[in-house]
Homo-oligomer: A and B are copies of this chain.
Amino acid sequence: MHCSPLDASAPAPLRVGLLGIGVVGSGVQRLLARNHALIAQRAGRTIELRRVAARHVARARELVGAHTTVVGDAMAVATDPDIDVVVEVIGGCTVARELVLAAIAHGKHVVTANKALLALHGEEIFAAAERRGVVVAFEGAVAVSIPIVKALREGLAANEVTWLAGVVNGTSNFVLTQMRERGVSFGVALAEAQRLGYAEADPGLDVDGGDSAHKLALLASLAFGTPLAFDAIEVTGIRALSLVELVAAERLGFRVKLLASARRHGAKLDMRVEPALVPTASLMAGVNGSLNGIVVHGDASGPTTYCGAGAGSLETASAVVADLIELARAVQAPVHGRAPALGVARAQAKALPRMASQALVSPHYLRVSLPMDDVLRLLAVGNLSMAAHADLGDDGVALITQSAPRSAIREVIGLLEREAGIRAPVVWLPVESLR
């Protein structure tokens, strides 16, 4: 119904080679087929899936139909002279890196949803693309259904970004939501997530924060115009979180999220992934289940928030195909580095030195198995005061402090833990006010 037959003078189709046809790849194939006419109309020309590289060739042939050639050799697709754009959705870093670099060397644009690849090898890949004059697009690599790369690179381009914070791993967010809503432990919630397909058999990359850190490296590079700096991110996952903290946080007006955040402090940059308390009234507290949400604070825009699916076959395809449409429109948003990352040429992108985490100032959550009088006395010794508290009975007292540097809270925790009569180690979590 959106279709109008293209005449002889119609522009040439954009010829796509797809590397991998698993969950994401099959979504890309399905979406290109289902919305073919609509996509052609919006792109100004047809987008044709010409070649697919698949591990199971026969099965893939059934899926893609007669107009697409399926082969087992991914390198043959990556370097095929009849392909304009290579979509890399194989995942992993070793083979994917070789394929992407080969495609670039052969003058092809690359669209990828592979955050690990870009977080770890992005500098090499973007530099190669810059030299060859091709685009590496990656809207699907972060918070898939949300066009956050475009928002940072274009929508907020007039702003100096002050900070950003996000829930960018759907699996750990699902686990935390289950724990809170059903009152179960981390282990029980994780098993449920695995049963429902929200978590993999080896959930480490998700619940230990690595996946969030991959995405944060990309977001921070875009937002601050800095080179990718995955290794500068401090990462703490959610395995050690007790349900007690989730319940106590709610009583105090906060919700615990695995938060990926980056913030400029003058000429320094702080990047971290860690469980943190956010105000229950904040939009971020409403990002539950497997949703992703990101808030970006620009110096002119103020805070803007983006939420949507963080995973899924068609959801990721939505982002991958948007990148293809942009390439087809020949709106060649310059490659990450050539002018972009918010438009800053790679050569101009300067690393910002890392902010020492002990200097970070925020309110803090503490849970202490001491009588409240003792807690207050020791907080006062450390020049800290309390903003709110809740009595948890056998679990001790939970409290929110006024803002203080992490170094100060560390000292007070030392005081508390040396106090006679303390029954368990002090539990500490930072509070992120999202301001």
Closest beta carbon of chain B to A152's beta carbon, Å: 9
Closest 6 CB pairs of A and B: A147-B155, A42-B343, A158-B321, A304-B308, A301-B318, A300-B318
Within 8 A of B (CB), among A41-62: 41-44
- Bound form: Cα–Cα A147–B154 in Å: 8
Contacts of A303 in B (CB 8 A): 308-309
Contacts of A287 in B (CB 8 A): 283
Contacts of A345 in B (CB 8 A): 41
Closest partner residue, chain B, to A334 (CB atom) = B329
Q: Is the interface of A mostly helix, strand, loop or mixed?
A: mixed
B322 and A158 contacting across the interface, CB-CB below 8 Å: yes
Interchain Cβ contacts under 8 Å between A and B, 11 examples? A35-B300, A41-B345, A43-B343, A44-B339, A150-B150, A157-B321, A283-B283, A283-B286, A300-B314, A301-B315, A305-B307
How many interface residues does A have (CB within 8 Å)?
Answer: 67
A357 within 8 A of B: no
Closest beta carbon of chain B to A5's beta carbon, Å: 13
- Bound form: Cα–Cα A302–B38 in Å: 17
A325 within 8 A of B: yes
Please name 7 further chain A to chain B contacts, defined as beta carbons within 8 Å, in addition to the given A41-B348, A43-B343, A156-B322, sorted by A numbering: A31-B300, A41-B343, A42-B343, A147-B156, A156-B318, A158-B325, A303-B309
Within 8 A of B (CB), among A113-164: 139, 145-147, 150-151, 154-160
Closest beta carbon of chain B to A350's beta carbon, Å: 9
- Bound form: Cα–Cα A160–B38 in Å: 8
A419 within 8 A of B: no
Over the window 17-47 of chain A, the binary record of Cβ atoms lying under 8 Å from chain B Cβ atoms (1 yes, 0 no) is 0000000000100010011001101111000
Contacts of A319 in B (CB 8 A): 155, 301
A158 and B312 contacting across the interface, CB-CB below 8 Å: no
A411 within 8 A of B: no
Contacts of A333 in B (CB 8 A): 331
Closest partner residue, chain B, to A155 (CB atom) = B147
Over the window 318-343 of chain A, the binary record of Cβ atoms lying under 8 Å from chain B Cβ atoms (1 yes, 0 no) is 11111011100101111000010011
- Bound form: Cα–Cα A23–B317 in Å: 41
- Bound form: Cα–Cα A306–B39 in Å: 23
Q: Pick from B145, B151, B304, B332: contact of A302, CB below 8 A.
A: B145
- Bound form: Cα–Cα A414–B257 in Å: 49
- Bound form: Cα–Cα A334–B330 in Å: 11
Closest beta carbon of chain B to A49's beta carbon, Å: 13
Known contacts: A42-B343, A157-B325. The answer to whether A299 contacts B35 by CB under 8 A is yes
Closest partner residue, chain B, to A281 (CB atom) = B286
Closest partner residue, chain B, to A316 (CB atom) = B300
B41 and A344 contacting across the interface, CB-CB below 8 Å: yes
- Bound form: Cα–Cα A157–B325 in Å: 7
A94 within 8 A of B: no
